[in-house]
Amino acid sequence: MILNSNIPEGSISDKWTNYKSQVPLVSPSNKRRIQILVVGTGLAGASASASLAEMGYKVKTFCFQDSPRRAHSIAAQGGINAAKNYQNDGDSIYRLFYDTIKGGDYRSREANVYRLAEVSTNIIDQCVAQGVPFAREYGGMLDNRSFGGVQVSRTFYARGQTGQQLLLGAYGALSRQIYKGNVQMFNRHEMLDVVKIDGKARGIIVRNLITGEYQSHFGHAVILATGGYGNVYYLSTNAMGSNVTAAWKAYKKGAAFSNPCFTQIHPTCIPVSGEYQSKLTLMSESLRNDGRIWVPKDKNENRLPRDIPENERDYYLERRYPAFGNLVPRDVASRAAKERCDEGYGVGSTGLAVYLDFEDSIKRLGKNIVSARYGNLFEMYEKITGDDPYNTPMRIFPAVHYTMGGLWVDYDLMTSVPGLYAIGECNFSDHGANRLGASALMQGLADGYFILPYTIGKYLSQDIRTKPIDTNHKEFKKAESNAKEKNKKLLKNNGTQSVENFHRELGKIVWDYCGMSRNKPALIKAIDKIKNLRKDFWKNVKVPGDDNNFNPELAKAGRVADFFELGELMMRDASERDESCGGHFREEHQTPEGEALRDDENYTFSSAWEYKGDDDSPTLHKEKLIFDTVKPTQRSYK
């Protein structure tokens, strides 16, 4: 496998402009003949489908939910970044680029990140034109707030429901194209494989989740916009259905999988409360704008938080990182919370929680303003925990939230399989080893509205002579029969244990060994543990029902089977990367203050794993990262 990132020549600020003016075009009459398949209707998939259809391509779009609107993106809370500099606080495209590269601990590709910062400003205009109700100041101007890892306010938001409002905008654009007949929408269809013919992606296999019917679909190009795989940890803030299956099948068909161990663990989530919990809830990072994080100074504290006087509280982020305070990046804030809890200062019945306190901001701003900014999050918190955060601090703890790893893509967002693209959270592109808050929505919409619609033309302009391929082609038949076989095997198994049990067990291993801190011997041990559990899964899992009607347990079993294989790759990736960077914290490599210690000489690369067969170890390729514009330094938020 040869990885070519296809970064255009020229200075960083000219690359994208030059690319756009020189990229080959597809004429309108040819666009009408080209079929594109888009899998996923979150912000990335919905925006790409709508844009490509608007441009004149024929589009088929797939999602496993009952409506495109239910994609996980709907859950995004806090906001979306853009370098508009509306606050006149020193923001610029360069600064957004720099913050993102630094926030990712110098493990992302400069050219892609610069382009992201450039198009960020268009996204806001596009969404405002669609009617997205971003928060506004009294005079009518769009409001901004701050997110972690930056010293400017560049985050646009719609209360704590930014993802929902943005997705409604993208869904509106998509619906318009469905109505015009330019997009054929397949709800409740799950992609089970990519079909490759003569080395190029030429289609997909899907299963209708309601009828059980297997179908083959041809496309001149296939776009995966299938989201992140945080649910490999079982407990995460992701939607319950989020999974890796589409990306994993692409990996098995030759698409390199990059940095699988780079996981984001978000500092402000509602702590785990019991063994049988199946979901964790995020409390948006935006809360760190006005909330202050602290633990008692005394290990054996048993007073209520409001009874603990100011001088007996440790505002540990403000103490350790005076320059950024409560707004340090997520990896730094999560590790600091873990450190305090490990030392015995944690609060709540498990000791695995810290306080997020709004007392000061309510005094400073008044309850009404705090409520206008965060009211729905406060309500959600109260419903789940029974505590009223207006009167007592929230209790929070880090939880799995986002996966920076994903399918390797070049500058065009194409994977290592020609004609197969990956956009949004399912690719690895822009966030390096740690994603800054409010930048996933920015990336998903940048990819879908503004980048892929240009870059895909480069490939398709060379493919205009390809006629639709009959889905009776042997490669379609083979892939369809493999997908059926796998499901039959699961159904015939007749074991005794539920899919859920296996998923919970797997998640525990991945969290314990590849969670907030990692070390070599444990990672090696975890590979064997996962292998053994995987064997047990295929021997003892019980999947009821059959595959010719609605069977959610079967769909889940297929996803968990893929999580097993992914979990093993994550351990390999984490053990190969013998340094700490961003969210990948190897205990062996830390500064005296406990910060992540990179090894730039040996690890300035993105890993890209190539599948070599079920019984063989995957091959590690390395995309060397070149820093021409920013000089990597030890990150400091002090």
Ligand X SMILES: Cc1cc2nc3c(=O)[nH]c(=O)nc-3n(C[C@H](O)[C@H](O)[C@H](O)COP(=O)(O)OP(=O)(O)OC[C@H]3O[C@@H](n4cnc5c(N)ncnc54)[C@H](O)[C@@H]3O)c2cc1C
Q: Which residues are catalytic?
A: 330
Identified binder of ligand X from the candidate list 35, 49, 51, 73, rule CB under 6 A: 73
Contact flag: residue 162 with ligand X (CB under 6 A): yes
Contact flag: residue 586 with ligand X (CB under 6 A): no
Do the Cβ atoms of 598 and 581 come closer than 8 Å?
Answer: yes
Identified binder of ligand X from the candidate list 12, 31, 40, 529, rule CB under 6 A: 40
Spatial CA neighbour of 424 closest among 442, 400, 399, 401? 442
Cα dist from 106 to 102, 266, 624, whole Å = 6, 19, 12
Q: CB-wise, 429 or 607, nearer to ligand X? A: 429
Identified binder of ligand X from the candidate list 245, 455, 551, 606, rule CB under 6 A: 245
Binding piece for ligand X, criterion CB under 6 A, among 30-38, 70-78, 303-311, 406-414: 70-78
Q: Which residues make Cβ contacts (< 8 Å) with residue 551, sequence separation at least 6?
A: 212, 543, 544, 545
Binding piece for ligand X, criterion CB under 6 A, among 299-307, 340-348, 435-443, 614-622: 435-443
3-state class (DSSP) for residue 222: strand
β-pairing verdict for 420-422 and 313-314: unpaired
CB of 206 vs ligand X, minimal distance in Å:
7
CB of 182 vs ligand X, minimal distance in Å:
19
Query: In angstroms, rounded to a whole number, what is the distance separating the alpha carbons of residues 314 and 483?
Result: 55
Question: How many CA atoms lie less than 13 Å away from 2 in the CB half-sphere?
Answer: 2
Q: CB-wise, 62 or 609, nearer to ligand X? A: 62
- Environment class of residue 610 by beta-carbon count within 10 Å: exposed (0-12), middle (13-18) or buried (19+)? middle
Rounded to 10 degrees, the C-alpha dihedral 86/88/93/95 comes to: -130
Q: CB-wise, 328 or 438, nearer to ligand X? A: 438
β-pairing verdict for 605-610 and 619-624: antiparallel
Structure tokens at 9: 């020549």
Q: CB-wise, 72 or 503, nearer to ligand X? A: 72
Identified binder of ligand X from the candidate list 16, 64, 234, 611, rule CB under 6 A: 64
Identified binder of ligand X from the candidate list 438, 526, 527, 574, rule CB under 6 A: 438
Identified binder of ligand X from the candidate list 31, 37, 52, 78, rule CB under 6 A: 78
Binding piece for ligand X, criterion CB under 6 A, among 60-68, 299-307, 382-390, 530-538: 60-68
Do the Cβ atoms of 99 and 149 come closer than 8 Å?
Answer: yes
Q: CB-wise, 110 or 425, nearer to ligand X? A: 425
Identified binder of ligand X from the candidate list 19, 57, 62, 537, rule CB under 6 A: 62
Binding piece for ligand X, criterion CB under 6 A, among 24-32, 75-83, 330-338, 623-631: 75-83
Identified binder of ligand X from the candidate list 242, 259, 326, 575, rule CB under 6 A: 242
Identified binder of ligand X from the candidate list 190, 410, 579, 623, rule CB under 6 A: 190
Q: CB-wise, 228 or 305, nearer to ligand X? A: 228
- Environment class of residue 119 by beta-carbon count within 10 Å: exposed (0-12), middle (13-18) or buried (19+)? buried
Binding piece for ligand X, criterion CB under 6 A, among 84-92, 364-372, 432-440, 617-625: 432-440
CB of 603 vs ligand X, minimal distance in Å:
25
Q: CB-wise, 273 or 462, nearer to ligand X? A: 273
The secondary structure of residue 447, as a DSSP letter, is I
Query: In angstroms, rounded to a whole number, what is the distance separating the alpha carbons of residues 478 and 317?
Result: 56
Cα dist from 489 to 20, 251, 419, 483, whole Å = 48, 22, 31, 10
Identified binder of ligand X from the candidate list 12, 34, 37, 43, rule CB under 6 A: 43
Cα 341 to chain centroid distance, Å, stands at 27
Contact flag: residue 165 with ligand X (CB under 6 A): no
Please give, one letter per residue, the 3-state secondary structure of 521-538: HHHHHHHHHHHHHHHHHH
Contacts with ligand X in 274-333 (CB under 6 A)?
A: 282
Q: Which residues make Cβ contacts (< 8 Å) with residue 21, sequence separation at least 6?
A: none
Spatial CA neighbour of 116 closest among 455, 440, 453, 582? 440
Which single residue brings its beta carbon nearest to ligand X?
42
Q: CB-wise, 77 or 580, nearer to ligand X? A: 77
Q: CB-wise, 269 or 460, nearer to ligand X? A: 269
3-state class (DSSP) for residue 313: strand
Contact flag: residue 441 with ligand X (CB under 6 A): yes
CB of 230 vs ligand X, minimal distance in Å:
7
Contact flag: residue 238 with ligand X (CB under 6 A): yes
Q: Which residue has the tokens 């029969």?
A: 481
Rounded to 10 degrees, the C-alpha dihedral 9/10/13/19 comes to: -50
Q: CB-wise, 30 or 385, nearer to ligand X? A: 385
Spatial CA neighbour of 266 closest among 506, 408, 440, 385? 440
Q: What is the x/- site pattern for ligand X, positions 90-129, by CB under 6 A?
A: ----------------------------------------
Do the Cβ atoms of 408 and 608 come closer than 8 Å?
Answer: yes
Cβ atoms within 10 Å of 11's Cβ, excluding its own: 10
Binding piece for ligand X, criterion CB under 6 A, among 43-51, 91-99, 348-356, 600-608: 43-51
Query: In angstroms, rounded to a whole number, what is the distance separating the alpha carbons of residues 571 and 87?
Result: 43
Identified binder of ligand X from the candidate list 12, 34, 37, 39, rule CB under 6 A: 39
Q: What is the x/- site pattern for ligand X, positions 198-237, by CB under 6 A?
A: ---------------------------xxxx--------x
Binding piece for ligand X, criterion CB under 6 A, among 174-182, 208-216, 434-442, 568-576: 434-442
Spatial CA neighbour of 209 closest among 184, 196, 192, 234? 192
Q: Where are the beta strands (DSSP E) in 123-220?
A: 155-156, 183-186, 189-197, 200-208, 214-218
Binding piece for ligand X, criterion CB under 6 A, among 35-43, 332-340, 468-476, 604-612: 35-43
Please provide the DSSP assignment of 317-344 as one string.
Answer: HHHH-TTTGGGS-HHHHHHHHHHHHHTT
Identified binder of ligand X from the candidate list 305, 424, 453, 618, rule CB under 6 A: 424
Cβ atoms within 10 Å of 529's Cβ, excluding its own: 20
CB of 14 vs ligand X, minimal distance in Å:
27
Question: How many CA atoms lie less than 13 Å away from 595 in the CB half-sphere?
Answer: 16
Contacts with ligand X in 457-476 (CB under 6 A)?
A: none
Amino acid letter, residue 426:
C
CB of 440 vs ligand X, minimal distance in Å:
3
Contacts with ligand X in 348-407 (CB under 6 A)?
A: 401-402
The residues binding ligand X (CB under 6 A) are 39-45, 62-65, 71-73, 75-80, 162-163, 190-191, 225-228, 237-238, 242-243, 245-246, 282, 401-402, 424-426, 438-441, 444
